[in-house]
Amino acid sequence: MKRWLIYGACLAIVLAPLAASAAVASSDAKFMKKVAQDGKAEVELGKLAAERGASDSVKKFGQRMATDHAKAGEELAKFAQDKGVTLPSDLDSTHKRLHDKLAKLSGADFDREYMRAMAKDHDGDVKAFQREAKSAKDHDLRAWVAKTLPTLEEHKQQAHEVMASVTGKDASASPRQK
């Protein structure tokens, strides 16, 4: 009996650091869930833009969003699984409403609304990633954020440029560009 207690204690000592390393701070888990939700929306909306966009620039941007955010989502899903964080599997109500709204539009109206949404979303995404790059408790999450941030910054810049081309407004004059 003593032998089993000793084995059990040794096993607990060995496994404790592994369990602790998989735990993620609640703020990091919340960030991961939000990013997963937003990323799923970017993929779905990007596919919609690739199909429904009137201008080639909107179609290409939509395809890039679908491709890049799908890749980032796969990386995040694997990372979250390793850390024991369950990510949402469906779009939230806000993203569903936007998808439904855009699905009813076509032509230049679709292009303008989609690109406005993408510029706004990427402005917020970049800010959130910049904050998380400084405040993430998990070292691995911080590294993933730092690796992903330059792509999001490119998306933000491209979103503003394409938005300017479909709305006729100068992208550099946009207050969201900051």
Domain architecture of the chain: domains with CATH:
25-177 (1.20.1260.10)
Model-level pTM?
A: 0.81
pLDDT tens for each residue of the chain, 178 residues long:
555 545 454 445 544 444 444 578 999 999 999 999 999 999 999 999 999 999 999 999 999 999 999 999 999 999 999 999 999 989 999 999 999 999 999 999 999 999 999 999 999 999 999 999 999 999 999 999 999 999 999 999 999 999 999 998 765 544 444 4
Report residue 168 as tokens.
């006729």
Q: In the prediction, which pLDDT does 169 show?
A: 75
77 burial level (CB within 10 Å; 0-12, 13-18, 19+): middle
